[in-house]
A and B are shown apart, each in its own frame.
Chain A
Amino acid sequence: MKAAVLVFPGINRERDMARTLRLVSGRAPTMLWHAEHELPAGTDLVVIPGGFSYGDYLRCGAIAARAPVMDAVRAFAVRGGLVLGVCNGFQILCESGLLPGVLMRNQQLRFICRDVYLRVERSDLPFTRGYNAGQVIRVPVAHGEGNYIADGETIARLEGEGRVVFRYSSPDGMIDPNWNHNGAINAIAGIVNEAGNVLGMMPHPENHVEAAIGPTDGRGLFAGLVEALERAA
């Protein structure tokens, strides 16, 4: 795995992400400054980590989506390169047009940090091959604006094409408003683009990878990516 982690001013989970990539893949990622115009040669995974790029001013992700490095990311995605956006990274992917929809303020208008349960909807993506379809994983969320929404047609397409990858669920996998902490439509926690190579998700799998610290359910996502990239190489 040769990952590049994008660093925008105000991003703050880049260190968490870099540590997780290093722990799971055995190789430290390149930390790539927003003003760069190119990805490092041989990059096979771009990660946009969480945080508050540009202070969330204007709209979450709106300014970062227009940074020079994002042109390179768009080109990389068009070529089929794997792109993972977590939390603010998901917001940036939506703002940059790589994914549809938008993340609105949480339904109860408060920032929420807690462990949530996600039902993994499919296991045939490079991002989810470490899980079984229908499996429930426990990972933390930490966001004020994670309430996913898109127009009816887009939602219908996403659902019809099986592009909803993660949904907030109860511990036994039931979709239930009581377990959907931010009010996202159809309990959507993560989606992919049409080609299946760009994933955006609100929860933080990178914070649940070490047994000494807590649950390790997030590890499967990164381990799956490592495996997928090794097979491709």
Chain B
Amino acid sequence: MIPNETKITPELVAEHGLKADEYQRILKLIGREPTLTELGIFSAMWNEHCSYKSSRVHLRGLPTKGAHVIQGPGENAGVIDIGDGLACVFKMESHNHPSYIEPYQGAATGVGGILRDVFTMGARPIACLDALSFGAPDHPKTRHLVSGVVAGIGGYGNSFGVPTVAGSVRFHSRYDGNCLVNAMAVGIARADWIFYAAASGVGMPIVYLGSKTGRDGIHGATMASAEFGADAEEKRPTVQVGDPFSEKLLLEACLEIMAKGCVIAIQDMGAAGLTSSATEMGAKGDLGVTLDLDKVPCREEGMTAYEMMLSESQERMLMVLKPEKEQEAEAIFRKWGLDFAVVGETTPSKRFIVMHTENGERKTVADLPIKELGSEAPEYKRPFVTGAKPPVIAADEVTAPHGTMEALELLIATPDLCSKRWVWEQYDHVIGGNTVQRPGGDAAVVRVEDGPKGLALTTDVTPRYCEADPFEGGKQAVAECWRNLTAVGARPLAITDNLNFGNPERPEIMGQFVGCVRGIAEACKALDFPVVSGNVSLYNETNGRAILPTPSIGGVGLLDDFSKSATLAFKREGEAVLVVGETTGWLGQSIYLRELCGREEGAPPPVDLTEERENGDFVRALIRDGVASAVHDVSDGGLLVAIAEMAMASGIGAVLSAAPSDIPPHAHWFGEDQARYVVTVPASQAEAVFARAQGASVPVWRIGVTGGDALMLDGERPVSIASLRERFEAWLPEYMAGKA
């Protein structure tokens, strides 16, 4: 029995984000009143962010297995086999709440955290991606958030030395009070040299490595597990401060001691810091852990056990080392100028014991059952309601407010469709010398080591579809990710999912979550595209207003020969422009309907996963056989926007055929039917492609021919590529300069 100096009142319990019934669960579990430090430990382990208490029951429905899956969800990151004895390690994670409160450090530490997850497993990071959602451009905070978040991502990744190669940026008023920063990191490791969190062996030294522990980030994970009220700004002290320089040293030191065979188990200190990493290593290894906080390197004097256990200071690791290699490991860490301290050991007791000297007296400040801390965390089957499906909007119900070319000019200058160059030029996307396809295409392509293999990487989701129909929206996010990987010629292998939603205690929000997860599961199964890692971010809500449901999907695909990847730029004049996939003119939930008609309405385009697969396999084969000269996925903005992007990427224009008589032109050109690609092939090969498509039951239409320096359409004035580019590139820089 440990003496309890602080009375645990209901108010104190509530301040720790624990509900009254959750506190009863703690009392029952340990049979006494917890100490303040123990209460802090429970609040860190049982908050939504760490325990997945609202989401776990639904996440079990996701497919996580596949022939090439080495490690699915549950470790620091997912691991897949990419052949040649190599593995790809990757994960995406949110840093939404901190980024809203302090955009530069919030975003920077988001990148730092996800990089640590990847190199903890023994992988050298080779790429980062970032999916960002901001409020309406005219909201007073938006410009500040964009500027800070982008600088923070660049500030951390550029200094750490990893190329940031792809991502997405969107704007919508539903993110006014909660921006989303979803960072994905991808690394390469030896497939037979992956490191895990599970400790093994009794009496093994537990070693603390990296930066010192300070008072920053205390209760960060708890903060990220609640919605914002009017006091969001006051939470700034819960945001950690990043130091990419220390992280770069930590990377090199970790990889060096891993290569020397010193490491038994390793866990990074992310959310809930020392608490979460120590209990995880013990629980996974079926062992107890005793920590001696007097040994923890501290940045500040007089830190209490409570503060040390809850600090989220960055750039720290916990390891179990082979005792005979301890000195060698220490020398490596000293060489890199990093802290190294033995702070505990593994025990056979299955207890999590924390010792600390306070006021000259050495005490046990926590003594808890280690496995139950994780496994007995509450799990909720929260009530949910599924919203009514919105009606399908027929194309002829929508009157076109503009001519086709005028509409194109307006659309490509809208915040969601315009060039994001202003963003990705602030990220070093060439470091490493392996970036084959830079930002701006369907997926980035990064060479693996010295080749010939390459990885294709992308992040995708269409939140307005998820809002209108969570199930179809969840399917679509996965399908679009799969399509983008396919469009560069890669074989899609696996995904990481980063599920961002509002308050799960509201049944309609829980309904969005459940619907999206089911949609993701269905698409992943149909496309053999397992989920190997992920993260859930709930309570993205301010004063009762939730974000659009945003399940970001990060995908990885493999190219056997990176030099054969396809790009979206038109290559030559006189080539046939083909569209693969069925065009019905689906305007419901389209960018066209929202931006030009002011209507955010209707059912989103349905996703037929069989068609997705057939059309995608067909396109991938055309790329593999060297028939397709340019390929682009058709998504936001529809067919004409896709064609305009291909033209702008090359400077070559196209002459396009008129829309078929049974579809209104605006629906034909701007509808967002799924499972479609624009592909160019040499004119001489077009017939052979049609024959091949017929054999595969894949619909393919010829819609034009490349050439000239403008886009030309019967009955419309031609639009020069130069003027399109100017509009496409202008909006974001002008907006950020305060002009737009």
Contact = CB atoms under 8 A, between A and B. Distances in A.
Interface string B160-172: 1100000000000
A204 B435 CA distance: 14
Contacts of B432: 15-16
Interface residues of B, number: 32
Contact of A113 (B246, B337, B428, B563): B428
Interface string B242-258: 01111011000000000
Contacts of B245: 9-10, 52, 54-57
B105 to A, nearest CB: 15
A113 B160 contact: no
A144 B157 CA distance: 13
A160 B292 CA distance: 66
Contacts of A207: 430-431, 433
Contacts of B434: 213
A12 B248 contact: yes
Nearest to B435: A213
Interface string A183-227: 000000000000000000000101101101110000000000000
Contacts of A55: 159, 243-246
A222 B562 CA distance: 25
A56 B159 contact: yes
Contacts of B563: 212
A210 B433 contact: yes
Interface in B207-250: 243-246, 248-249
B383 interface: no
A110 interface: yes
Nearest to A9: B249
A54 B249 CA distance: 10
B431 A142 contact: yes
A140 interface: yes
B520 interface: no
A81 B426 CA distance: 35
Nearest to A55: B245
B425 A113 contact: yes
B567 to A, nearest CB: 12
Interface in B427-443: 427-436
A16 B447 CA distance: 13
A207 B245 CA distance: 22
Interface string A59-70: 000000000000
A114 B422 CA distance: 11
A20 B161 contact: no
- Which has the most chain B C-beta neighbours within 10 Å: A20, A54, A206, A213? A213
A142 B243 CA distance: 19
Contacts of B161: 12-13, 51-52
Contacts of B426: 110-113
B273 interface: no
Contact of A140 (B154, B155, B248, B430): B430
A144 B337 CA distance: 26
- Which has the most chain A C-beta neighbours within 10 Å: B155, B158, B447, B562? B158
B451 interface: yes
Contacts of A54: 245
B655 interface: no
A57 B424 CA distance: 24
A74 interface: no
Given A10-B159, A10-B249, A12-B161, A111 B336 contact: no
A10 B426 CA distance: 19
Interface in B419-476: 424-436, 447, 451
B151 interface: yes
A113 B430 contact: yes
A140 B161 CA distance: 15
A105 interface: no
Contact of B431 (A12, A56, A212, A213): A12
Contact of A213 (B160, B425, B427, B447): B447
B438 to A, nearest CB: 9
Contacts of B336: 9
Contacts of B425: 110, 112-114
Nearest to B733: A108
Contacts of A20: 433
Nearest to B426: A111
Contacts of B159: 10, 12, 52, 55-56
Contacts of A114: 425
A19 B447 CA distance: 14
Interface string B461-502: 000000000000000000000000000000000000000000
Contacts of B451: 212
- Which has the most chain A C-beta neighbours within 10 Å: B245, B337, B434? B245
Interface string A73-89: 00000000000000000
Contact of A12 (B154, B155, B160, B243): B160
A174 B246 CA distance: 42
A56 B151 CA distance: 16
A72 B426 CA distance: 35
Nearest to B737: A108
B74 to A, nearest CB: 31
A13 B154 contact: no
Interface string A33-65: 000000000000000000110111100000000
Interface in B559-611: 562-563
B244 A204 contact: no
Nearest to B160: A12
B511 to A, nearest CB: 42
A163 to B, nearest CB: 28
A111 B430 contact: no
B445 to A, nearest CB: 10
Contacts of B248: 9-10, 12, 52
Contacts of A111: 151, 154-155, 158, 426-428
Contacts of A52: 158-159, 161, 244-245, 248
Contacts of A13: 161, 431
Contacts of A144: 158
Contact of A19 (B244, B427, B430, B433): B433
Contacts of B243: 55
A230 to B, nearest CB: 24
29 contacts: A9-B245, A9-B249, A9-B336, A9-B337, A10-B248, A12-B159, A12-B160, A12-B161, A12-B248, A51-B161, A52-B244, A54-B245, A55-B243, A55-B245, A56-B159, A110-B425, A111-B427, A112-B425, A113-B426, A113-B427, A113-B429, A142-B428, A144-B158, A204-B430, A206-B433, A212-B447, A213-B433, A213-B434, A213-B435
Q: 9 closest pairs, A vs B, by CB? A: A12-B161, A55-B245, A142-B428, A52-B159, A16-B433, A113-B428, A140-B430, A212-B563, A10-B245
Given A9-B336, A13-B161, A111-B155, 12 more contacts: A9-B337, A12-B159, A52-B158, A52-B244, A55-B159, A110-B151, A110-B425, A110-B426, A111-B151, A111-B428, A207-B431, A212-B447
